[in-house]
Amino acid sequence: MNKLLLSLAVFGAVGCKTGADPAIRTNISAQLQSAQAPIQACYQKSLTTNRKLRGMYVVQLAVAGDTGQFQEIVLRRDEPQDAVLRFCVTQALAKLKLDKPPGKRVEVESVPIKFEWANP
């Protein structure tokens, strides 16, 4: 049986453009890590229509200073070129919110997400 592997390479290295403090970076990383299961579900669903789907997204986003909500989600790199996957991943990221608002807008300039499947 094939097993789906989703590699979200960013979770160790969030690139914050505005020099966010380490606590905010850690919180952003934790929120992104929590999105791994929903993003994996998006990929698994898209594989039902395109079994050869793989590639990488590089996502740029911002965190609202007053609410902590993830917003302004833009794909800077879209290798899979699958509209359904793109919409699903964007929606999964848009649902994320920091536990405590950072007080000022934080830009995250590079969130790489790699989609691939392999037999374990």
60-107 pLDDT, tens digit per residue, is: 999 999 999 999 999 999 999 999 999 999 999 999 999 999 999 999
The mean pLDDT of the chain is 85
Stated pTM of the model:
0.84
CA 55 to each of CA 25, 65, 82: distance values in angstroms, whole numbers, following the listed order: 26, 32, 10
Helix intervals (H) in the chain: 22-34, 36-47, 83-94
